[in-house]
Structure 1
Amino acid sequence: LSPCHGQGHPRQPQTGRNLRAVLCQRCGSRVLLPGALLLPAMRKKAAAAAAGGGGDVLREHWLVRDMFSFENVGFTRDVGNVKFLVCADCEAGPIGWHCLDDKDSFYVALERVAHE
């Protein structure tokens, strides 16, 4: 991932954490507070790459390590071993995902949210 220095989703250079609150693009509801997220380097697993399939390719995600950090997010029913994250107010989404194999990792796609 390249560093995010644009106006849309700036992060603190030293910590990689978000400087602005994360909002629902549709209704403006606050999803996460500033400083709650980390932007990790993502790697695509070989199995996922081979599977292909439709959908959007999302390359940058905020990483949330504690589900209680969220201000306002809902979870879908399980789809395989994944739950998708949606805005709890307007149910827009998915704005991110959570793999049930890793209980402490919740990913919010930068392209699916706004920043205050």
Structure 2
Amino acid sequence: MNENVGTEKERSAPDKDVQENAAIVEETDDEGKNTKQIVCINCSSKILPPSMGTFMELEFELVSFKGEKEIVKKFFKVEDMFHFDNLGFTNTVDNHKFLSCADCDLGPIGFHDLNTKLSYLAIDRVQKI
């Protein structure tokens, strides 16, 4: 289910989609931390408080909500899994656990790398309020 955890690119790296990056810049501070509460797009359950995730780009294959594989590139990296509010973790698959909303089970909304102990929350699969 997983593929490559690609090279990390910090927030200052240029991107092809300028409008999308402009929206991300508005939702992050000077250090790339999320400035808004992150919630589930399905049930609005709180997932990640402000200032707990750092924007980064990497390529990782996740199954879409429709069941198709897709490459996701924009994430909030979370250093400690205890920074999350309501988050579920799947069984281990190839040294990764997949993240889901703990209240409605929507997922995967990201992944947890067992080697690095870092979690990555897919920006396009959550809502910022």
TM-score, length of structure 1 as denominator length:
0.81
Aligned equivalent of 1:74, options 88, 96, 121: 88
- Which amino acid letter does the alignment assign opposite residue 122 of structure 2? A
- Which 5+ residue runs of structure 1 have no aligned equivalent? 49-53
Number of residue equivalences = 106
| Cα-Cα RMSD | 2.3
Alignment of 1:1-116 (within 5 A): 2=15, 4-6=21-23, 10-12=27-29, 14-42=30-58, 44=59, 55-103=69-117, 105-116=118-129
- Shift of residue 81, structure 1, vs aligned partner: 1.1
Q: Runs of 4 or more off by more than 4 Å in structure 1?
A: none
In percent, how many aligned pairs have the same letter? 34
Q: What's the secondary structure of 1:5's corresponding residue?
A: helix
Offset, 1:5: 2.8
Tell me the secondary structure at the aligned position of residue 27 of structure 1: coil
TM-score w.r.t. the length of structure 2 is 0.73
Query: Equivalents in 1 of 2:70, 2:81: separation in Å?
Result: 24
Name the structure with the higher strand share. Answer: 2
Structure 1 residue 69: Cα displacement: 0.3
Q: Is the 8 A contact 2:90 2:97 kept in 1?
A: yes
Residues 60-116 of structure 1, C-alpha deviation per residue, up to 9 Å, x if partnerless? 00000011100010100111211000000000000000121112x100000110110
